[in-house]
Amino acid sequence: MPRTTTAYTTLDLDGLGKQVGFVAIPHSPHDDGWGHVRIPMAVIANGSGPTVILQGGNHGDEYEGPIALGELIRELDPGEIEGRLIVLPAFNAPAVEAGRRVSPVDGLNLNRTYPGDPVGSLTQQITAYASDHLFPIADAFIDLHSGGSSLHMIPSAIVEPAPTREHLARNVAAVRAFGAPMIVVIDNLGDPRTSTATSVRANLTTVGTELGGGGTVSRDALEICRRGLRNLLAHFGVIDGSVSAPTDGDIRAIPGPKGFVFADAAGVFESFHDLGAEVRAGQDAGSVHSLTRPDLPPQILKFGADGIVYGRRQPGRVVPGNCCLVVAAPYEGELP
């Protein structure tokens, strides 16, 4: 039974054809007594195939997903599909409008608020709507991320771990169908508050991505995203056609806390390695320079795990605790 909510939608989730509108969440700031925040949504439906949720804009500074989903909404004819697509190109609309990772309304990271709270802050109400009203009617969930303003990532499709071998097999097959250059298992150190972890708990076939980043739009990553979305729709049987260039190579994983290199001092970070470079535990990873204390030597950071450089901090300025580098190691678990 869904929790009581004041959110409502202008769309008929059971209707056929193409509808473009929004989810409205009442919001009463200083300058708008009875206003609401609009979360853009499209429903494209025809026939009796599966329901697939396509989400972008979970973080507002990650652009490839929202661009590709906007194109899909404009281009896709309902007659081309068999099933239902629920498309959310700018799910965290306030953050998307501000170009920020977190919402400017309540300062929350939407991807750490699931399953949400229908009487909580605005961000918590958004995730509660997804948890209570969208995930229960879907078969699959695609969450399109990139590195945002703080990280540049190797374009990749993400496997969210699942509790059963059958469910994990569904996730892996869909991720391979997406066709990204790399596949990485990411569990966010076991954090259950993410969209993909919540999707898995709802038993949905789940695919994530990390596409480029650095607060810009990568042409290569955007093309991977466009092709990957069409691949997934073909994989799920929503559109006709075969999957183009699926990924059949090795799968990597972030090996827990050792896979992250964090700053221990304030200053400017200099990476010693490019994305994709092979590195080893104990090897020098980079340095943090104190620009206003030229008498101090730079702090040398070291890798905690073997693997390749998967993500690298984009802004030079760091403070203690900032993530500077991410390592992806060969996946050691058993996959279906």
Question: Residue ranges per domain, the chain?
Answer: 8-250, 254-330
pLDDT value, residue 274: 97
Task: Report d(CA 256, CA 53) in Å as an integer.
Answer: 29
| Tokens found for residue 147 | 């590195």
Divide the 336 residues of the chain into consecutive groups of 10 and give the mean pLDDT of each group. 87 97 93 93 96 98 97 97 98 97 97 97 97 98 96 96 96 96 94 97 98 92 97 97 86 96 97 98 98 94 98 95 97 80
Q: Which helix (H) or strand (E) holds 269?
A: strand 267-271
Please state, in angstroms and as integers, the Cα–Cα distance from residue 216 to each residue in 93, 94, 100, 262, 275, following that order. Answer: 18, 19, 12, 23, 17
How many residues belong to the chain?
336
| Tokens found for residue 86 | 């629920």
CA-based nearest residue to 331, from 185, 208, 191: 185
Fold of 8-250: Aminopeptidase (3.40.630)
pLDDT value, residue 158: 97
**Residues whose CB is less than 8 angstroms from the CB of residue 297 and which lie 6 or more positions away in sequence, other chains included:** none
Question: Span 254-330: which CATH code?
Answer: 2.40.50.100
At 80, phi and psi to the nearest 5? Answer: -80, -15
Task: Report d(CA 283, CA 303) in Å as an integer.
Answer: 6
Please report how many Cα atoms fall inside a 13 Å half-sphere around the Cα of residue 245, on the Cβ side.
11
pLDDT value, residue 136: 97
Question: 151-153 and 323-330: which strand pairing?
Answer: unpaired
pTM recorded for the entire structure: 0.95
**SS3 state of residue 225:** helix
| Tokens found for residue 41 | 């949504």
pLDDT value, residue 200: 98
pLDDT value, residue 1: 66
